[in-house]
Structure 1
Amino acid sequence: MRFGMFVPQGWRYDLVGIEPAEHWQTMLSLAEYADAPDSVWESMWVYDHFHTTPVPSATEATHEAWSLMAAFAASTSRVRVGQMCTCMSYRNPAYLAKVAATVDHVSGGRLEMGIGGGWYEYEWRAYGYGFPSIPERLGRLREGVEIMRQAWTTGSATLDGTYYQVDGAIVQPQPVQPGGIPIWIAGGGEKVTLKIAAKYASYTNFVGSPEVFTHKSEVLRAHCEKAGTDFEAITRSSEFFVVIGTDAADVAARLDRIEARVAPYLGPDATERFMAEYRAGGPATLVGTPDDIVARLEERSRLGLGYAINYFPEAAYDRSGLELFASEVVPALR
């Protein structure tokens, strides 16, 4: 199994209490940790969002993903950099293809392109994008990925689509990476998203119970068979929210500290919902000791999970959870 880690950027209230002037240094320090020569982390990631969640805040920061991509590309040398995931409709796809190709050059060929249809209605409307129907958002995703693939493999893109029209959009230089930047299609929609993934993706990203993961994997396999693509060539990934401790008492103490940190900003009801993700132990969470988490990931590995991208809510304040995961979990699964 391969491993990536998220760098906190504020979206999930993971920089609160830190002065905004210190945010970049906090993020950069974690990027340098991920980039170290002896690091177990293959990749580092951010989210593509504009407003905080679960409560949009008028005062708390959410740093913009593609600005961070360029900055991280220039300030690291080994670790791969990505976003999970870029919202297709937030940027014109030909422009985004150009931006991504430039970032790939800045990084020396280390960029990953996570892309999806988008879902956070509040920020869509706040930024003036409206909030199109699911079919339209997925139609934009399909056309946008086609434009990016053309741009990165031929140096230009032309498409007279339903949602996007480009006519000889030049993207030079092409990406450093042969064949273009790897595309990660995020989402588990069975009729459209996984069909797009079967045609274009090097990676998928979806989460669910073991039963759901297995089912969606088989749906992806069927789409690959129809598209004439190789199911085994697509790496399946999932994102996990991780709280890891040396024992049960340590885990409980870490959860209590996270709750105390966000409660002044979220209020009681939103805090309860926020913490429920961790305390309930759902399919997108890895909460427990190293042995607990290894067992969960071993099960997913047997089902075909090849890449785990891990979000640590403590990372900006306490790196010990990251380090415990790196020293105890990763070696057991490699």
Structure 2
Amino acid sequence: MDLRIFTEPQQGATYDDLLRVARCAEDAGYDAFFRSDHLLAMGDSSGLPGPTDAWVTLGALARETTTIRLGTLMTAATFRLPGPLGVAVAQVDQMSGGRVELGLGTGWYEAEHRAYGIPFPSQRERFGMLAEQLEVLTGAWSTPMGQGYSFAGEHYTFAESPGLPKPVQEPHPPIIVGGSGPRRTTALAARYADEIDVPFAGVDEVAAQLGRADEACRALGRDPRTLRRSTAQVLCTGHDDAAVRRRAAAIGRAPDELRTRGLAGTADEVVDKLGRFAEVGVERVYLQVLDLSDLDHLEFVAGRVAPAV
């Protein structure tokens, strides 16, 4: 099972904080470093010193790391037009030597849209935008050099686009579609994605969503085994219960809650929970690390949990 580090820098992190975590994750042998694409803190966090742009950050990390994969969970379709987004992702893929992955979603946090002057259309419109962005990104990247790409949709129109620059990875960087939506999310994942992610859900909920994704693949004539399956889970573990309680307190959460809705407890408890996710088809887990100052947490999981899964 792949274990990936997933951060939420809108809660309060500088680029240097993220660089330290990414380098620690790379040195510890994690498969990837991912970050959210948000502009406003959630909950009681002040978010100081303020947000960092997801793709600016990943471009910088592409030059300051060498092996770890880099990506977003999830870039919001509302934040960027698909043409400029395609340029940014392809450029960072080039800068990293082909280590980038794109998680793309509808965008859901209305408050951050208001705070930063970004239109927030209805859910129906946002799903329409997401579907068209997936269509044009994959289409433009896959268009052969020297040929033009055109598309006319409800939200976006491309006229003889050169589809440049091309990413290093062919036909394009892996695309991740995520969520628990029973119909539109699974349909989009089956049609466009390399991976479906079911975030912050229990084992039974993840299993049900993966079953729906299988059905969506079969409806399109796609082999469900070609769609990688993942989940994102908040991480809170340690040598003993005292360490778990300390880490839970540091992120303002209760250990019992995290054991139910996350990966929490001793190393043995976390290994057992990961085993249950594996039994329902999960191949990859994004470990949501909320205390970015606690690098020992990453090293503990790399030493005590990763070898067992």
Same fold (TM over 0.5): yes
Match of residue 114, structure 1, among 94, 103, 117: 103
SS of residue matched to 1:90: coil
Structure 2 counterpart of 1:169, from 142, 152, 161 = 161
In structure 2, stretches of 5+ residues that fail to align are none
| Aligned counterpart, 1:6 | 6
Partner of 1:326: 302
2:206–2:231: 8 Å Cα contact kept in structure 1? no
Which shifted more, 135-144 or 47-56? 47-56
- In 2, Cα distance between equivalents of 1:74 and 1:8: 21
Q: What SS class does the counterpart of residue 66 from structure 2 fall into?
A: coil
Whether 2:152 is the aligned partner of 1:153: answer no
The answer as to 2:283 corresponding to 1:306 is yes
Matched residue, 2:245:
252
Which residue identity is paired with 2:124? P
Closer, same or farther: CA 32–154 of 1 in aligned 2, 3 Å: same
Deviations 1:272-309 (A, max 9, x none): xxx25x54136541111000000001000010000001
* Whole-Å separation in 1 of the counterparts to 2:21 and 2:239: 22
* Equivalent residues, number: 305
Aligned to 1:194: 186
Match of 2:22 in 1: 31
Amino acid across the alignment from 1:184:
I
Distance 2:179 2:111 in 1: 19
Q: Which residue of 1 aligns with 2:293?
A: 317
Tell me, what secondary structure is at the counterpart of 1:101? helix
The Cα offsets for residues 235-279 of structure 1, whole Å up to 9 and x where unpaired, read as 1111111111101112112223334xxxxxxxxxxxxxxx25x54
**Bigger mean CA deviation after superposition, 279-288 or 89-98:** 279-288
Written as runs of structure 1 = structure 2, the 5 A alignment for 1:134-149 is: 134-149=123-138
| 2:259–2:265 Cα contact (<8 Å) kept | no
Kindly indicate whether the alpha-carbon contact (under 8 Å) linking 1:32 and 1:76 is maintained by their aligned counterparts in 2: yes
Which consecutive unaligned segments of at least 5 residues does structure 1 have?
16-22, 260-274
Q: What SS does the corresponding residue of 2:171 show, helix, strand or coil?
A: coil
Residue aligning to 1:209: 202
| Partners of 1:282 and 1:46 in 2: CA distance | 23
The TM-score with structure 1 as length reference comes to 0.86
| Identity among equivalent pairs (%) | 30
Q: Which residue type is aligned with residue 22 of structure 2?
A: A
Whole-angstrom CA distance in 1 between matches of 2:215 and 2:250? 45
Q: CA RMSD in A?
A: 1.8
Equivalent residue for 1:54? 43
